[in-house]
């Protein structure tokens, strides 16, 4: 079982280190780790945020454990050299079109959520975010418009096949959860969304009635996630809407430091499905290097890796239970109003494994 570890920038290395300590504490046989540079650190060392050797390392692995990329010193670089291009490039190059972002308020920890307790108690959903299409990957550029003004443009599109394959992921997920899918779009305005909605409807008709499907406009979905989250089970949506709604979901759960993700394609390895696992948060430059980051999102991402890429369900569940127990015992990072540092949180999880 080969894991490419890409810690990246800012708090990336701090949170990744704790996830690796947790994995180490499980003493899994046959695990080999490779570490590579990515993001701003890779740009500084190799002149590119996604060096060829890092991409090769990721390709050769059975799974990738990713920290975060992004650094304010790189914000003025040309787009193709910005650290964010490294994660976008990895997703595209590895064809990781499905991003699973589960968000659940931990049992008994409703007080961590800014939602009313009865709303918080019903917050348990999975965002299935399409990850290699949409306005993220369309043609983009700058031009001078008719009025002689500079203008930026980004092309948004979805093809039928792109929508069908992400719908299939959502359907499969819904079968193992509550059997409900909400497809989120902006079909009242966007042609991209009209094709999205028609394709999801067509896919649903082919699949039969075992999954309950409804459609919601993205603005309404943002509101309903706060006012009535228990109506959601699986949300399937495009790249941009999924990015925004998953940060909203992280706030509802209590902190962005708690939400893991799995990015999957269709490539099978001898152990399971190849995937990239990362917290949904970024490099948090405001707290980087201070030992304050909450590593739980990355630890939970490692658990998703064990489940999806290595078929180690029991070990994944053990990690998740240890994180839940640590939270129940009052272990809180600064993001949750507590004073436990990154390493202390890692140790608290390991003690409870
Ligand atoms: P961010 O997620 O890095 O931070 C948002 C806020 O949440 C900050 O106040 C930060 O301190 C806090 N936070 C985030 N993770 C935390 C954790 N584990 N524990 C405690 N607090 C945490 O988003 P941003 O500030 O918009 O972006 C910073 C940089 O990260 C940018 O360069 C951005 O492009 C990049 N980014 C990268 C990824 C990724 O690598 N996948 C994701 C999002 C943002
Ligand atoms: C995320 C991030 C990335 C995205 C950025 C860093 C490119 O916000 O993983 O959610 O927009 O997908
Ligand atoms: Mn995001």
Give the Å distance between the CA of 70 and the centre of ligand 2.
Answer: 10
Give the pLDDT band of residue 69 (cuts 50, 70, 90): very high
pLDDT for 154 equals 98
User: Is 280 near ligand 2, meaning CB less than 6 Å away?
Assistant: yes
98-112 core/surface letters (b: 16 or more CB in 10 A; e: else): bbbbbbbbbeebbeb
Residue 209: is its pLDDT beyond 90? Answer: no
User: Is 130 near ligand 2, meaning CB less than 6 Å away?
Assistant: no
Q: What is the pLDDT of the chain when averaged over all its residues?
A: 97
Q: What is the mean pLDDT of residues 101-106?
A: 96
Residue 284 alpha carbon, nearest atom of ligand 1: 3
Q: What is the mean pLDDT of residues 225-233?
A: 97
Residue 23: is its pLDDT beyond 90? Answer: yes
User: Is 256 near ligand 1, meaning CB less than 6 Å away?
Assistant: yes
Residues annotated as catalytic are 136, 186, 219, 243, 247
Give the Å distance between the CA of 249 and the centre of ligand 3.
Answer: 11
Residue 329: is its pLDDT beyond 90? Answer: yes
Residue 285: is its pLDDT beyond 90? Answer: yes
Residue 108: is its pLDDT beyond 90? Answer: no
Ligand number nearest CA of 18 is 1
Tens-digit pLDDT profile for residues 116-130 = 999 999 999 999 999
**Are 10 and 16 a contacting pair, CB within 8 Å?**
no
- Report which protein residue has its CA nearest ligand 1's atom 43: 282
Residue 348: is its pLDDT beyond 90? Answer: yes
Report pTM: 0.97
Give the Å distance between the CA of 244 and the centre of ligand 3.
Answer: 6
Residue 256: is its pLDDT beyond 90? Answer: yes
Give the pLDDT band of residue 145 (cuts 50, 70, 90): very high
pLDDT for 58 equals 98
Tens-digit pLDDT profile for residues 151-205 = 999 999 999 999 999 999 999 999 999 999 999 999 999 999 999 999 999 999 9
User: Is 297 near ligand 1, meaning CB less than 6 Å away?
Assistant: yes
* Poorest-pLDDT segment among 105-109, 134-138, 171-175, 345-349: 105-109
């Amino acid at each position: 079982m080969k894991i490419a570890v890409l810690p990246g920038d800012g708090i990336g290395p701090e949170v990744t280190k704790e996830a690796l300590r947790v994995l180490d504490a499980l003493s899994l046989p046959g695990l080999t780790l490779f570490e590579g540079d990515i993001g701003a650190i890779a740009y500084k060392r190799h002149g590119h945020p996604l060096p060829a050797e890092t991409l090769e390392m990721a390709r050769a692995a059975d799974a990738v454990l990713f920290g975060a990329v992004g650094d304010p010193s790189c914000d003025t670089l040309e787009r193709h050299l910005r650290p964010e291009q490294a994660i976008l490039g990895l997703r595209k190059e590895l064809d990781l079109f499905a991003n699973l972002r589960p968000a659940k308020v931990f049992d008994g920890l409703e007080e961590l959520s800014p939602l009313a307790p009865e709303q918080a108690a019903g917050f348990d959903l999975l965002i299935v975010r399409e990850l290699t299409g949409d306005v993220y990957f369309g043609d983009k550029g700058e031009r001078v418009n008719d009025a002689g003004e500079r203008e930026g443009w980004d092309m948004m599109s979805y093809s039928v096949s792109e929508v069908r394959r992400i719908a299939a992921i959502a359907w499969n997920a819904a079968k193992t959860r509550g059997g409900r899918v909400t497809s989120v779009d902006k079909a009242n305005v966007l042609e991209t969304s009209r094709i999205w909605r028609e394709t999801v409807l067509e896919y649903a008709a082919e699949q039969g009635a075992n999954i309950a499907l409804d459609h919601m406009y993205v603005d309404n979905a943002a509101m309903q996630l706060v006012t009535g989250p228990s109506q959601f089970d699986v949300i399937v949506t495009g790249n941009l809407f999924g990015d925004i709604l998953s940060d909203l979901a992280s706030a509802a759960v209590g902190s962005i430091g708690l939400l893991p993700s799995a990015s999957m394609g269709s490539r099978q390895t001898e152990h399971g499905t190849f995937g990239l696992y990362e917290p949904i948060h970024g490099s948090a430059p405001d707290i980087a290097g201070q030992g304050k980051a909450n590593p739980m999102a990355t630890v939970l991402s490692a658990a998703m890796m064990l489940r999806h890429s290595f078929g180690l369900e029991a070990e994944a569940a053990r990690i998740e239970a240890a994180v839940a127990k640590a939270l129940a015992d009052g272990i809180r990072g600064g993001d949750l109003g507590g004073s436990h540092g990154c390493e202390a949180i890692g140790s608290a999880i390991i003690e409870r494994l």
